[in-house]
Amino acid sequence: MNPVLLMASFLIGYLIHLRLCWKFDTDPQKVKTIILFLSLTSILIAYFPNESHPRTNLFLILGWTIVLIDNAHHRIPNFITGYLTLALVLIAVVDNRLLDSITGGFEFLLFFGVLAIAAKLKIGIGDVKLAGVIGLMTGVVAFQELISFVLLAAIFGITSMLGDPGGIRLKARIPFAAPMISAAILIWPIWPK
């Protein structure tokens, strides 16, 4: 992707981030967000000049917003996941990968839905919807990649509980958006393009 377009997308993303944080009464952490977006832009330009894609950039930008809102309110607003879903479907139409994208979204949604039911809804419905959005972004993946994603997200979730100053509480509600988004970004290079 053109570096100027990439920087412009992150600048527009920053403005969207500020608006969404304001709408959902969440601290936008402006300095951290600017540092994060500048770092992501630099990394994408330096190390992935040909791999940068609008669906990934959109997910990186709105993923940070989702993490902040989930950490503050323990919920992922339908407003964000709904519009993110529409944007990813439109990008899939333009990329001529609509069937792959929708099948991947259904695959992740179904898998996390079954996990939520098996865990007696200890996994929030917002997390299930976020899994569907991640599936829309990645497309169809092999079962072992899906299991790797879940295990990595669980490890990140447990690690976040260990870092909690209140200690580990078995009935504690942890915001699971950050571990899921981190796992998606970490194993992003192995997923199909």
pLDDT digits (tens, 9 = 90+) for 97-137: 999 999 999 999 999 999 888 877 678 888 999 999 999 98
Residues 165 and 156: their CA atoms lie apart, in Å, by 16
Structure token digits, residue 123: 């996994």
Whether residue 97 contacts residue 139, with contact meaning beta carbons closer than 8 Å, is answered with yes
Q: What is the pTM of this model?
A: 0.85
**145 confidence band (pLDDT: 50, 70, 90):** confident
- Please state the three-class secondary structure of 133-178 as a single string: HHHHHHCCCCHHHHHHHHHHHHHHHHHHHHCCCCCCCCCCCCCCHH
For 133-144, the pLDDT digits (tens) are: 999 988 888 888
pLDDT beyond 80 at 192: no
Residues 49 and 71: their CA atoms lie apart, in Å, by 32
For 7-58, the pLDDT digits (tens) are: 888 889 899 999 999 999 999 999 999 998 888 888 888 877 776 678 888 8
Q: Read off φ and ψ for residue 163, nearest 5 degrees.
A: -80, -5
Predicted local distance difference test score (pLDDT) of residue 86 = 93
